[in-house]
Homo-oligomer: A and B are copies of this chain.
Amino acid sequence: MIAAPRAEDSAPYPRTWGRGVQRLKQYGLRAHLLGALLRLRVPGQGLLLVMGGWSLPELDNRGGRLEIGSCGLFSGVRLECWKDATISIGDGTYLNRNTEVVAAESVRIGRDCKIARDVIIMDTDQHALPGAELIVRPVEIGDRVWIGARAIILKGVTVGHDAVIAAGAIVTRDVPAHGIVAGNPARPVR
């Protein structure tokens, strides 16, 4: 259940390996128990923590692949993975309450990302425009990206390492590494 320590482990959250007691104190027994329960449903070797309540995140896996590292998932999180699609979430990343990921083909989220509550990330509009085909374009989110509360990341968007997405931003275009975007539609700030 607990991965071996690795050299690159530097983020305090939630990868303080070898310091199990400290981690238990910080996140509580409930987070560990629910995380272990959730791990039964997701293959992987990392440590899952489930925070924010007694209910498990919803895994709506319709025949795809969930690659979930050592992550923190809050109650109300929902991962919807279509047939043959992939949802990948790197070590040290957390998804706060009610955040939702929909992958028709591929949504990849890097390491040590901070994803706030009520965020939606999807690689498809889920429906075709009248007279057109369903659009599916993979979403890729780099490492250490911070996504503010209630932002929406739409199909085809690539977000570079260390970028910041402001609360409430609706992101329809790529965000470069270290970029900061805000607004609806999201535009660079500063």
B167 touches A148 (CB 8 A): no
Q: What residues of chain B lie closer than 8 Å to A168, measured between beta carbons?
A: 152, 170, 184
Separation of A164 and B182 alpha carbons in the complex (Å):
22
Q: What residues of chain B lie closer than 8 Å to A183, measured between beta carbons?
A: 170, 184-185
**Contact stretch, chosen from A17-25, A62-70, A85-93, A123-131:** A123-131
Q: What residues of chain B lie closer than 8 Å to A125, measured between beta carbons?
A: 148
Interface residue ranges, A against B (CB under 8 Å): 100, 114, 116-117, 120, 125-127, 129-130, 144, 146, 148-150, 152, 154, 162, 164, 166-170, 178, 180, 182-185
A167 touches B120 (CB 8 A): yes
Q: What residues of chain B lie closer than 8 Å to A185, measured between beta carbons?
A: 182-183
Separation of A129 and B166 alpha carbons in the complex (Å):
11
Separation of A167 and B150 alpha carbons in the complex (Å):
12
Separation of A120 and B146 alpha carbons in the complex (Å):
18
The 7 closest A-B pairs by CB, nearest first: A168-B170, A184-B184, A152-B168, A152-B167, A130-B162, A183-B184, A114-B127
Separation of A167 and B117 alpha carbons in the complex (Å):
17
Separation of A152 and B125 alpha carbons in the complex (Å):
17
Which residue of B is nearest A170, CB measured? B168
14 A-B pairs in the complex with CB atoms less than 8 angstroms apart:
A114-B127, A120-B149, A120-B167, A129-B180, A130-B162, A150-B150, A152-B167, A152-B168, A166-B170, A168-B170, A170-B182, A170-B183, A183-B185, A184-B184
Beyond the given pairs A129-B180, A149-B152, A183-B185, 15 more chain A to chain B contacts, judged by CB atoms under 8 angstroms and listed by A's residue number, are A114-B127, A120-B149, A120-B150, A125-B148, A129-B146, A130-B162, A150-B152, A152-B168, A154-B167, A167-B170, A168-B170, A170-B182, A182-B185, A183-B184, A184-B184
